[in-house]
């Protein structure tokens, strides 16, 4: 019974740490870049886009498709970086617990 109570206490602590980590992820930001920096996307580690910046030289009607492609590429770059940031935070939180991969994420 003592083992069960210890597990419950550990689970409650983990849940509290998970909440704190989720709150922290709102403040972790990454930047996705495409077109050699002509398009940048700033995103939180929770995949919320905060800003998109487009170089003024791309603001021509005939460049519309290029701009659209660069935005998609920058968003995907930011998403990959956000996923890495989230995984790093998760690993820091669960590193010593010996939990199977994917159990909490």
CATH of the domain at 62: 3.30.1310.10
Establish if 67 belongs to a structural domain. yes
Q: Are 42 and 51 in contact (CB under 8 A)?
A: yes
pLDDT number for residue 100:
53
Establish if 13 belongs to a structural domain. no
The predicted model scores a pTM of 0.66
User: What is the domain range of residue 64?
Assistant: 23-93
Q: What is the mean pLDDT of the chain?
A: 84
Q: Are 28 and 90 in contact (CB under 8 A)?
A: no
Q: How many beta carbons lie within 10 A of that of residue 60, not counting itself? A: 10
Domain count, the chain: 1
Establish if 8 belongs to a structural domain. no
* DSSP conformation class of 58: G
Question: Over the stretch 72-90, which tens digit does the pLDDT of each residue have?
Answer: 999 999 999 999 988 888 8
Establish if 14 belongs to a structural domain. no
Sign of CA dihedral 42, 46, 49, 50: negative
- Weakest mean pLDDT among 15-19, 28-32, 40-44, 50-54: 15-19
pLDDT number for residue 75:
95
What is d(CA 44, CA 27) in angstroms, rounded to the nearest whole number? Answer: 7
Establish if 33 belongs to a structural domain. yes
Establish if 89 belongs to a structural domain. yes
């Amino acid at each position: 019974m003592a083992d069960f109570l210890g597990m419950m206490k550990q689970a409650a602590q983990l849940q509290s740490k998970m909440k704190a980590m989720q709150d922290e992820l709102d403040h972790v930001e990454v930047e996705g870049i495409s077109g050699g920096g002509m398009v940048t996307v700033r995103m939180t580690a929770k995949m919320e886009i905060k800003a998109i910046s487009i170089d003024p030289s791309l603001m021509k009607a005939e460049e519309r498709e290029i701009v659209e492609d660069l935005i998609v590429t920058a968003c995907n770059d930011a998403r990959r970086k956000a996923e890495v940031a989230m995984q790093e935070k998760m690993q820091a939180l669960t590193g010593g617990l010996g939990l199977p991969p994917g159990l909490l994420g």
